[in-house]
Amino acid sequence: MPEGSALIRSCNEDFQVVEQLGFEPEGEGEHLFLYIRKNGENTDWVARQLARFCQLSPRDVGYAGKKDRHAITEQWFSVALPPQRKLNWNLFGGDTIEVLKTVRHPRKLRLGALQGNRFGLRLRDVSHPDELATRIEKIRSGVPNYFGEQRFGQDGGNLQKGVELIRGERKERQRNKKGMYISAVRSWCFNHLLSQRIAEGRWDQLLAGDALMLSGSKSCFLAEDIDAATQQRLVSGDVNLTGAMWGRGEPLNVGASRQWEKDQLAPWEEILERLEHLGLRQERRALRLQPIALEAKAESENQWWLEFELPSGAFATSVLRELTQVTKPIQDTAE
């Protein structure tokens, strides 16, 4: 746990996110992609405004990922707008929303269809600048890949609702909310496995039967035996240990690794069984998150600017928690 503290999100300019789509729109098709910069606006709210401006159903608007509200963010949206319909995009938005680019594509932009994000974060009132500088160098090799607190909702509300939903104690008609609550339960189970592995000193040590994920990809393979060459690949960052994202089907890991995960999650066996019955398939997630192109600059003795890239599904808060204890003057209502 870092000794030092720092202030984040003093203003929207202190938290910036640029979406990295990972592919180029093709330039023609029935969907118009819009690259939008927004300042302090909710992704879903912008999507609804787009639907209203285009006189379309909200179902005809797509985006790849939700971004923090208390920030300046750039991201792609899509609208199902035939080429013959011409709109003046200078009339859309206002002081907090700007359309930077438009280009056509044959298909709607789907949630999750992005490569990652580049973050720019300003830390103010840094209490231990020397410790921060040391920790910045240390995290280049990776940090625990926790799901961030925003996944679980304010005061863990999403997690509680997810447990109630799975147990049949709650009904939820809205599909997106139902998915969000169930996702919170799966994410908590993963975080628990990661925390236990760290507590036992195993988060960078192989267990027989571990499922390893190649860095920069989702491809996994089994380490059925512990050998020096594979352990060295793990230490070097070429491969990462993984943890279960629970669902239907056989876990990819085997032997001692599978038994260890089963033992850690044994108190929640009923919840796990109900998750399987929901039809979610068994998946793996890397235990280690490696910030890409990490840059840090001291703007003054107690103020720092950080930039780094993270893959889709990773949380900037997982990086920050390893650097300093953060305080937020603005209530965090990240999506």
Active site residues: 68
- 197 CB contacts (<8 Å, ≥6 apart)? 203, 241, 243, 287
Q: How far apart are CA 121 and CA 24, in angstroms?
A: 27
Please tell me the distance from the alpha carbon of residue 16 to that of residue 2, in angstroms, as a whole number: 24
Backbone angles phi, psi at 248, to 5 degrees: -75, 145
H or E segment at 199?
Answer: helix 175-199
Strand partners, 19: 117
Q: What angle do CA 19, 320, 1 make, to 5 degrees?
A: 160
What does the angle CA 214 – CA 220 – CA 264 come to, to the nearest 5 degrees? Answer: 110
Work out the widest C-alpha separation in the chain, in whole angstroms.
Answer: 62
CA nearest neighbour of 29 among 86, 63, 80, 87: 80
H/E element, 157: helix 157-166
